[in-house]
Amino acid sequence: MPEPRLALRGVKKSFGDVEVLHGIDLAVNPGEMVCLIGASGSGKSTLLRCMNGLEPVDDGEVRLDGVDIAEPGFDLAPIRQKIGIVFQSFNLFPHMTAYNNVALAPRRVLAEDARTRIEALFERFGLGAHMSKYPDQLSGGQQQRVAVIRALAMRPQTMLFDEITSALDPELVGEVLDVLRSLRDDGMTMVLATHEMGFARELADRICFMDKGVIAEEGAPDVIFSNPQKERTKQFLASVLR
């Protein structure tokens, strides 16, 4: 059994008086792709944001390559290079070209002029012609692909995706999912919060169904989608797969 890339134990998180994560246990192995599914408000996004320290957890452990990054006071800056995140709303920097959006962090954090590498990433994801455009000159799907490239340019070993197709027009979802497919083929360790059930079923190694701040059921995609054990899972799937 290899050491998990990411191991969560008893993770709890409250916003004010509302506890949104009630003690999450989850291990993600290197090269594994885990999909978090569940209704809005079930805690998927919060869980992802706890995995890279964007939200400090209240209790429990988040081990990245064996190091507990949830230790209060832990310096997260070096960790952020190992774990990339892409958000639902892209969050590109609107005053910079697509290329500069991507090049900023490698230049400032890695002190590296990664031009060749970055250009190769743009080419790979079909954006070679758009590097000098500003975000508002790009479609939603293109912006989201730039956001993925921006995270990849830091050479992370793990990628988190927070409902990255949810803000897109339906016809643009495919081009972004293709990017994920391609990363999957590279063997990237990935955790996704997603509403794309077909995609999750096709590509995920494991599905975690979240409900009211706990992982209510987890297992292989075929098991979860064809033969869910828990009543709540059945209800959720029945409502989204209609």
Partner 1 sequence: MTTRRAAYEARQRRRATLLAGGSTAVVLVLLIVLVPLAPGWDGVKSSFFNAEIFARTFPDLANAFLINIAIFAWSVPLIAALGLAIALARGARAPVLFPLRIFGAIYVDLFRGIPVVLLVYLVGFGIPGLGLPRPWNSPYIWGTVALVLTYSAYVAEVLRSGIESIHESQRNAAVCLGLSERDTMRYVVLPQAIRRVVPANMNMLVALQKDVALLSFIGPVEILRQAGIFKSLLANFTPYVAAAVIFLCVTVPATRYADYLMNRDRNART
- What tokens appear for 80 in the block? 């952020």
- Does residue 59 sit in helix, strand or coil? strand
Q: Work out how close the CB of 135 gets to partner 1 at its nearest, in angstroms, rounded to a whole number.
A: 12
- DSSP secondary structure of 155-218: --SEEEEESTTTTS-HHHHHHHHHHHHHHHHHT-EEEEE-S-HHHHHHH-SEEEEEETTEEEEE
Q: Work out how close the CB of 33 gets to partner 1 at its nearest, in angstroms, rounded to a whole number.
A: 20
Nearer to partner 1, 49 or 201 (CB): 49
Nearer to partner 1, 87 or 99 (CB): 87
Total number of residues shown for the chain: 242
Nearer to partner 1, 87 or 199 (CB): 87
Q: Work out how close the CB of 225 gets to partner 1 at its nearest, in angstroms, rounded to a whole number.
A: 31
Q: Work out how close the CB of 13 gets to partner 1 at its nearest, in angstroms, rounded to a whole number.
A: 16
Q: How far apart are alpha carbons 96 and 98 in whole angstroms?
A: 6
Nearer to partner 1, 85 or 180 (CB): 85
Nearer to partner 1, 79 or 197 (CB): 79
- What tokens appear for 78 in the block? 């070096």
Q: Work out how close the CB of 112 gets to partner 1 at its nearest, in angstroms, rounded to a whole number.
A: 12
Residues that bind partner 1 (CB under 8 A): 52, 54, 77-78, 80-81, 84-85, 87, 89, 91-95, 104-105, 108-109, 150-151, 154
- What tokens appear for 73 in the block? 């006071």
Answer yes or no: are the C-beta atoms of 80 and 49 closer than 8 Å. no
